[in-house]
Amino acid sequence: MSPTRRSILAGMAALPMARGALAQSPMGTARGPVEPNWPSLVSNYRYPDWFRDAKLGIWSHWGPQSVPEQGDWYGRFIYMQGHPMYAHHLKTYGHPSVAGMKDIQNRWTADRWEPEALIARYKKAGARYFMALANHHDNLDCYDSRYHAWNSLRVGPKRDVVGTWEKAARAAGLKFGVSNHSAHSWHWYQTAYGYDPTGPNKGERYDAFRLRKVDGKGQWWDGLDPQELYTGGHAVMPNGIDTIAGMEAWHDKHDGQWIETGPTDDPAYVTKWLLRQTDLVAKYKPDLVYFDDYGLPFGSIGLEAAADYYNRSIAWSGKIDVALFAKQLKPHERFGVVQDVERGFSDHLWDEPWQTDTCLGDWFYNVARLNDKSYKTAEQVVQRLADVVSKNGNLLLSVPQPGHGAIDSEEEQILDQLGAWTAVNDEAIFGSRPWRLYGEGPTKLTPGMQNEAGAGAFTPRDVRFTTNKGALYVLFLGWPSGTASVASLARGRVSGVIERATLLGGGHVAHRQDAAGLHLDLPRKPAGGFVPVIRLDGKGLV
C-alpha cells in the first residue's frame, strides 16, 4: 500500500458516511459488502491487475448523432438558430419543429456495421479493452433497455448494439466496457423546447415542446412518448426573445452549464437513471463502466450505482475485478474509482492508475475530419500512449464511426500504423509499470482536461520511461537524428549498470554513459518510423 493510500484511508473517518443509503436505495441495486459511501468504496476497491496491464482501449463512441456526420452535440445544437448544425439540419432534414432529434435517431441504420471485423482490427492495433457507448446526452439507450422505451431495439437500427459489441469483444479476448452519459440529458436537451427567435418560423416551438405520446398515432414512433426522450421542459425558454444573441444568452445562463444535479421539478428522473444503470450492468456484466460526470452522478445516487457495480462484480468473480471511471475526483475519491482525464494531460507520475480518453477526431463522426485530413496521426496517438503509460495511466482512444457503422479509409490507415508500432514495441507498453521518473524533455504539459488543443508538439528530446520484466525502456517521442542523449540516465544519477541497449525491431545500439547522460547512437529514421524504443538491460536499473 502506498503512503498516499495509507494517508487517505487514515482520514476517511472524517468524511460523512451515507449509512442507511443502501437500504433506502431504489429497486434493482445489488447488496453486498460494498456500501454506497466513499469510505466503503475506498476500503474495498483495488485496481485490477488486468487494467494496469492493458494500457490501451478502443472506444466506439457511436450513436444516432453520428448520422449527420457533423460532429459533437448535434442533438442540442440543431435547436439553436444560427448554429452551423441548425443550418445543416434545416437544409438536410427540415425544420426542427417537425423533424427533430427523435427523427435523426430513427435514421441511424448501422447497415454497414461489421462488429467482428472492427473488433479484430482494434485488437490488431493493440487494444486490450473495448468500450461501447450505452447512451449519450441524446438519451437513446443503445441496448435492450428494460426501463427506457427509447432504445435501439425500437428506434433506428432495431438491434441490441451494446449486446452485439459485447459478444464480439469477448469472443476476441478483449475486456468489455460501457459508457453512460445520460445523467446530463435533462439540461442538455432544453434547447429542444425552444423556438426560432427570428425568420419565417419565428416563435414556432420545436418538436419537444409540442409533441406527446398521443401525437404518434400512425407515425413511425407510435407508442413512444417524446417527452420521455426529451426529458420534459425543465428550463423552457420564455416567449418574446427575438434575437439570436438573446436566445444564446438565455441558454448559456439556464441550461448551458455542465450540471451534475438532477432536475428539481422531477426527482423521478434520477431514480430512473439508476434503474437504467443497474439494468445495463446486470445485463452485460461489463469489465469497465465510464460515467461522463464530475464525480459520481447525482451524488448519493451515483454512490449507489458504484456500490451496486462492485457488489455485482464480487458476485460474478469473487472480488471487485472491474474499473469504474469518473472525472474531476477529489483526492480521496481516486482510490475508490478510477480518475478519467478527458482530452487532457498529467504533468507528473501518479501514485494510482488513471486513464485519459481522447479521439482521432470529434467524438461523433465528422466528415470534415476526413475531408481536411485533420485526424490525429498514428504518431500522435503513440506519443500520447507513451506519455500516459509512463505516468501510470491508460489511454482510451475513440475511433469515430458514421451512422452506417463502417470506419473510413483514413481511420483504417491510422489503426494499421498503430498496430505496426505496437507489434514491434509491445513489451515497452503492455504489462509495463512506471519507472522512478516518467521522463524528461522540453515540452511542458499543462495538467487538466479538455486542453489538448493547446499542447505543443513533442520533440526528439522528449523522452519517456517504462519498465517491464527487469528491463528499462526509453521511448523517444520524436526520432532523434544521430546521437541521442538522456540526462536522467547519466552516470551518478542512476544506480545500476547498463550492459546492453537494443532498439526494438532494430537490434544493438552503441551506447556510452558519462556525467552528462546516456548517449545512444540511433539509426536514421526509417520511412514511416516514429517513437523509437530502446530497451536497456543491466543490473540494478529497475
CA distance 169 to 359: 20
pLDDT at 453: 84
Residue 38: its H or E element: helix 38-44
DSSP per residue over 199-259, as a string?
STTBTPBPHHHH--GGGGTTSTTTT--HHHHH---SSPPPTT--SHHHHHHHHHHHT-S--
DSSP, residue by residue, 342-390: ET-B-SS--SS-EEEEEESS-SS-BHHHHHTT-SPPHHHHHHHHHHHHH
Task: Specify whether the CB–CB gap between 226 and 272 falls below 8 A.
Answer: no
Per-residue pLDDT at 2: 52
- Characterize 153-180 residue by residue with b for buried, 16 or more Cβ atoms within 10 angstroms of its Cβ, and e for exposed: bbbbbebbbbbbbbbbbbebebbbbbbb
> Is the separation of the CB atoms in 209 and 101 below 8 Å?
no
Residue 530 half-sphere exposure, CB side, CA atoms within 13 Å? 21
- Strands of the 511-514 sheet, one edge to the other: 483-486, 517-521, 511-514
pLDDT at 28: 73
Q: What's the distance, Cα to Cα, between the start and end of the chain in Å? A: 19
What is residue 19's predicted lDDT score, i.e. its pLDDT? 33
Give the span between the Cα atoms of 189 and 194, in whole angstroms: 10
At 454 the pLDDT is 83
Fold of 439-539: Immunoglobulin-like (2.60.40)
* Chunked mean pLDDT (size 10), the chain, 542 residues: 45 37 53 96 98 98 98 98 98 98 98 98 98 98 98 98 98 98 98 98 98 98 98 97 98 96 96 97 98 97 97 97 98 96 97 98 98 98 98 98 98 98 98 98 95 91 97 98 96 92 97 97 96 96 92
pLDDT for 14: 40
Q: How much is the pTM?
A: 0.95
Burial level of 377, CB count in 10 A (0-12/13-18/19+)?
middle
Task: Classify 3-73+113-180+263-428 by CATH class.
Answer: alpha beta
Report how far apart, in Å, the C-alpha atoms of 34 and of each of 21, 305, 308, 317 are. 12, 11, 8, 15
Instruction: Residue 308: name the closest of 282, 336, 283, 272 by CA.
Output: 282
Using alpha carbons, select from 215, 187, 188, 198 the residue that is nearest to residue 98: 215
Query: Residue ranges per domain, the chain?
Result: 3-73+113-180+263-428, 75-102+187-254, 439-539
Instruction: Look up residue 465 and give its three cell numbers.
Output: 520511461
CA proximity to 128, closest of 426, 338, 475, 474: 426
Q: All 3 cell numbers of residue 138?
A: 441524446
In one letter, which amino acid is 50? W
Strands 439-440, 463-468: pairing kind: antiparallel
